[in-house]
């Protein structure tokens, strides 16, 4: 069997796509899987690192204001659809998966116009524009949240949860503390700003370093590549107190295992990982995303008393008051952990691949 998986742009699209590919390959080692991404975006490096081939399209999103780039947008889309069509005719996939992001639209358009079965995987509680536009062209739409009928045809929806690496929840605390050089007798705070980092979280964390040291809290602070040089300088005087700035955390299983409390953006992948690992969490939704979908993701948890919410604009004044109060309240941590675990979908990846294979076998 042959499959094309398209989309990307951020880790929230890329890592679920890789999880789907890994599950297909686990079941069918002989399956051929090709990724299609956008040139210049992070999938062009992350996907090959995961062991898969990828082809890039010259495609980018619409700007939110009138710019010369927007005038070229229709031409770029037409060229991308034409290239995607040639790729599909040469590769001849049995089915196509779109995970959102710039490259997803041309591939899904090209595939569905040729009668190739297609599946969309929507990670967020507020559907992305590309997925909404293409929903009636595909046979199956796998979603992570209930109530998505307001965006998609109900007869094509399957509530699966988001595909995440299940091994993310397998880390052992003793190993994790040794890996990061942490003290088992002191609480650990994990700060994750998404694959690209988060300016607001980084600024608030840098300002809070003396407070964390005074409170005896240990810190794993994932800064993102852009912010790391400055964050490393800010954290250096606090290294002896185990307050550590990290550019990127590759062993997230151990980072979660070490953490007593997590501060995070509310991207779909991050939220799904927090549910699976059952971590008491403070969510700070990014305001710089389409349709404010991170706030909607966060509210889906906070309305179930499964996480705390601090608005981005209020993070500077409130985030570390909230974090330190939670770190000092084990009973509240246990309550949040129990509630967030109820929202996990540990079989999400397997269910999505089940739906994909149903499309193939019906053809």
With 0-12 / 13-18 / 19 or more C-beta atoms within 10 angstroms meaning exposed / middle / buried, residue 167 is exposed
* Most distant CA atoms of the chain, gap in Å: 64
Instruction: Judge whether 181 and 254 are in contact, CB under 8 Å.
Output: no
User: Is 162 labeled as ligand-binding?
Assistant: no
Q: Does the annotation flag 294 for ligand binding? A: yes
- Specify whether the CB–CB gap between 122 and 28 falls below 8 A: no
- The answer on whether 10 is annotated among ligand-binding residues is yes
Confirm or deny that 268 is annotated as ligand binding.
yes
Q: Is 272 annotated as a binding residue?
A: yes
Asked whether the beta carbons of 349 and 164 are under 8 A apart, the reply is yes
Using the 8-state DSSP alphabet, how is residue 5 labeled?
A: E
Task: Establish whether 351 is an annotated binding residue.
Answer: no
Does 164 carry a binding-site annotation?
no
Q: Is 41 annotated as a binding residue?
A: no
On whether 169 is known to bind a ligand per the annotation, the reply is no
The H or E element that residue 52 is part of is none
124 is in an annotated binding site: yes
Residue 218 host element (H or E): strand 218-222
Pairing of strands 2-6, 32-38: parallel
Q: How far is CA 7 from CA 17, 77, 82, 131, 306, in A?
A: 8, 14, 16, 11, 30
223 known member of a binding site: no
Do 190 and 258 touch, CB atoms closer than 8 A? yes
Any bridge partners for residue 55, and if so which? 36
Q: Which residues are annotated as a binding site?
A: 10-12, 124, 165, 195, 268-273, 294
Indicate the annotated binding residues for UDP-N-acetyl-alpha-D-glucosamine.
10-12, 124, 165, 195, 268-273, 294
């Amino acid at each position: 069997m042959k499959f094309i998986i398209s989309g990307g742009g951020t880790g929230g699209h890329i890592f679920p796509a890789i999880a789907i590919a890994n599950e297909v390959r686990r079941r069918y080692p002989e399956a051929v899987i090709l990724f299609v991404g956008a040139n210049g975006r992070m999938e062009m490096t992350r996907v090959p690192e995961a062991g898969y081939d990828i082809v890039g399209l010259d495609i980018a999103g619409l700007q939110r204001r009138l710019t010369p780039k927007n005038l070229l947008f229709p031409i770029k889309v037409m060229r991308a659809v034409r290239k995607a069509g040639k790729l599909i005719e040469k590769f001849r996939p049995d089915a196509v998966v779109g995970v959102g992001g710039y490259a997803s639209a041309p591939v899904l358009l090209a595939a569905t116009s040729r009668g190739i079965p297609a599946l969309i995987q929507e990670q967020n509680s507020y559907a992305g524009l590309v997925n909404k536009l293409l929903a009636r062209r595909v046979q199956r739409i796998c979603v992570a949240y209930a109530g998505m009928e307001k965006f998609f045809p109900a007869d094509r929806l399957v509530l699966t949860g988001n595909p995440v690496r299940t091994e993310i929840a397998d880390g052992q605390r003793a190993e994790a503390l040794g890996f990061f050089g942490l003290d088992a007798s002191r609480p650990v705070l994990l700060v994750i700003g998404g694959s690209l980092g988060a300016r607001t979280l980084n600024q608030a964390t840098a300002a809070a370093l003396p407070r964390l040291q005074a409170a005896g809290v240990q810190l794993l602070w994932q800064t993102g590549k852009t912010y790391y040089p400055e964050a490393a300088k800010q954290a250096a005087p606090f290294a002896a107190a185990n307050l550590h700035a990290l550019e990127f955390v590759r062993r997230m299983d151990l980072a979660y295992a070490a953490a007593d409390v997590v501060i995070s953006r509310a991207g779909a992948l991050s939220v799904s990982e927090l549910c699976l690992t059952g971590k008491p969490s403070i969510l700070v939704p990014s305001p710089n995303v389409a349709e404010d979908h991170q706030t909607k993701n966060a509210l889906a948890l906070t309305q179930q008393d499964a996480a705390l919410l601090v608005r981005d604009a209020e993070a500077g004044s409130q985030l570390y008051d909230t974090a330190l109060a939670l770190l000092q309240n084990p009973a509240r941590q246990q309550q949040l952990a129990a509630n967030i675990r109820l929202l996990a979908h540990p079989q999400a990846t397997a269910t999505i691949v089940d739906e994909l294979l149903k499309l193939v076998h019906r053809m």
